[in-house]
């Protein structure tokens, strides 16, 4: 296992360099004046342009710029925005909120999605199975912002159960409804994925053997069937955490949440490449780490999998 972990960590290095370089190139290699509109209606004075050009190493080649940025990044320096604000401090303030929102969304989609998938997979065709299939298809068909606005209008506008906007503290209680909205699409996919996996593994040889040995139905389902069936679901959930953190722009906008999504959106609007690059690089790191964790969980869930 130790050699496998080391090998996987070494594999992450070229993936990290390749993905972050692609992001850096896409953000900074765009044609046009990077300082256009940064000084209002008038053109920026030449001393300001010279200072910012030297600060962001814009006179160097793209490869040199990237490795200088990477060196600063490894020292904990995410850089500064064009207005002089520390990107590291902005990320430190916004990241905990987005992480809480993404974790809540993952928990909601895992509990409801896996639960619905297990019930329908074990029961087979019937009213409950048709209800889950129709409900998940409905959620898949709806854009996330539509789900958010509908829940906001009903729960906040008509029933008064929640506040239409999340406060600056963004407590766990306030993030439950936004978390449900953020994870609604993935919840539908997880329910269908779990249902299909349970239905397929019910006819597997190891399940038939467990039943033939006279093991209780609870043990057959919980120990044998569920552990083997949940592997593709765990893969989806692991990578989905990074996707939810990056895809929270719409949900955070609907519920006025001051998270990473808002920073990315404002960075794109203001054409602030340093902010966009720093946050996306952080999301890449989350993706890579979650991918490693998911791979290590395979051997725990399925004894047939061993890392030699």
pLDDT tens string, the chain, 308 residues long: the values are 677 778 878 888 898 899 889 888 888 776 666 676 667 677 778 887 788 788 778 788 888 888 888 888 888 888 888 777 888 888 888 889 999 999 999 999 999 999 999 888 888 778 888 888 899 999 889 888 899 999 999 998 889 888 888 888 888 889 999 999 999 999 999 999 999 899 888 888 888 888 888 888 888 887 778 877 888 888 888 888 877 887 788 888 889 888 888 888 888 777 777 888 888 888 888 888 888 888 777 766 666 665 55
Q: Check if the beta carbon of residue 275 is closer than 8 Å to that of residue 87.
A: yes
- Residues 261, 238: Cα–Cα separation, whole Å: 20
- Given a contact cutoff of 8 angstroms between Cβ atoms, the answer to whether 72 and 79 are in contact is yes
Residue appearing with tokens 């070229």: 14
Q: To the nearest 10°, the Cα dihedral for 184, 186, 188, 194?
A: -140
Domains of the chain (ranges plus CATH)?
Answer: 89-271 (1.10.3720.10)
For the chain, give the number of residues: 308
Closest by CA position to 259, among listed 37, 105, 74, 35: 105
């Amino acid at each position: 296992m130790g050699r496998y972990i080391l090998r996987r960590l070494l594999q992450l290095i070229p993936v990290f360099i390749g993905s972050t370089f692609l992001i850096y190139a896409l953000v900074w290699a765009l044609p046009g004046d990077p300082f256009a509109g940064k000084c209002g209606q008038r053109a920026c004075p030449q001393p300001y342009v010279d200072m910012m050009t030297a600060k962001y190493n814009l006179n160097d080649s793209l490869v040199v710029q990237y490795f200088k940025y990477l060196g600063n990044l490894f020292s904990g320096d995410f850089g500064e925005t064009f207005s002089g604000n520390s990107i590291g401090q902005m990320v430190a303030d916004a990241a905990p909120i987005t992480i809480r929102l993404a974790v809540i969304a993952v928990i909601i989609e895992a509990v409801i999605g896996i639960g619905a998938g297990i019930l329908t997979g074990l029961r087979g065709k019937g009213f409950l199975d048709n209800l889950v299939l129709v409900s998940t298809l409905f959620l898949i068909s709806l854009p996330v912002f539509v789900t958010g606005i509908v829940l906001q209008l009903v729960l906040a506008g008509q029933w008064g159960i929640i506040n239409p906007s999340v406060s600056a503290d963004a407590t766990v209680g306030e993030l439950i409804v936004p978390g449900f909205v953020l994870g609604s699409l993935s919840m539908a996919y997880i329910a269908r994925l779990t249902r299909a996996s349970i239905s397929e593994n019910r006819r597997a040889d190891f399940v038939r053997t467990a039943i033939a040995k006279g093991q209780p139905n609870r043990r057959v389902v919980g120990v044998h069937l569920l552990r083997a069936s949940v592997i593709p679901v765990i893969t989806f959930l692991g990578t989905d955490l990074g996707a939810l953190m990056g895809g929270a722009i719409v949900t955070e906008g609907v519920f006025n949440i001051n998270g990473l999504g808002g920073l990315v959106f404002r960075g794109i609007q203001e054409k602030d490449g340093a902010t966009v690059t720093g946050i996306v690089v952080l999301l890449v790191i989350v993706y890579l780490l979650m991918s490693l964790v998911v791979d290590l969980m395979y051997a725990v869930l399925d004894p047939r999998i061993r890392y030699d």
